[in-house]
Amino acid sequence: MSGSGDVLQDEITVNVRGEDYVFRVPSIKFDIEVGYRAAAIRRKADPEGRGNLDALDGMAAAFAFNCALLELYLKAGPAWCWSAGAGGKPVVDHEKFPLKASALVWEVGGAFRDAFERFRGEAAEDSPVS
């Protein structure tokens, strides 16, 4: 992770299989943002289940969570992450990830979650709020 310990850093870089993935540091709304995006991904995949966590297995929910992380926070990474969005602007859209990238979604999502948890812990240690 780049900038470890710097509570003012604005990005987190993780390296997976020799490739760098650069994420913006989430705000305090992280848990809410990811929860809602993951639910939207689940609803789209299974409209009858309406994104309900009780309607699918834990692996599917965790995979949707990892997709949400990439869609919300990835700033830079390998070409497989990106597709053309509105006006040709590059966007991260889990529906356009190549099938062979599913293992990478797990690995990159896990690496980011680990790095962000370390960052949050270090930020909390330096916080003036007790």
The string of pLDDT tens digits covering residues 86-100 is 888 899 999 999 999
Domain locations in the chain as residue ranges: 11-109
Can you give the pLDDT at residue 105?
A: 96
**pLDDT tens, 25-43?**
998 888 899 998 998 998 8
In the chain the first and final C-alpha atoms are separated, in Å, by 26
Q: Identify the band that residue 3 occupies on the pLDDT scale cut at 50, 70 and 90.
A: very low
Can you give the pLDDT at residue 128?
A: 52
**pLDDT tens, 65-75?**
999 999 999 99
Token representation of residue 61: 């929910």
Cα-based distances in Å from 12 to 5, 116, 122: 11, 7, 13
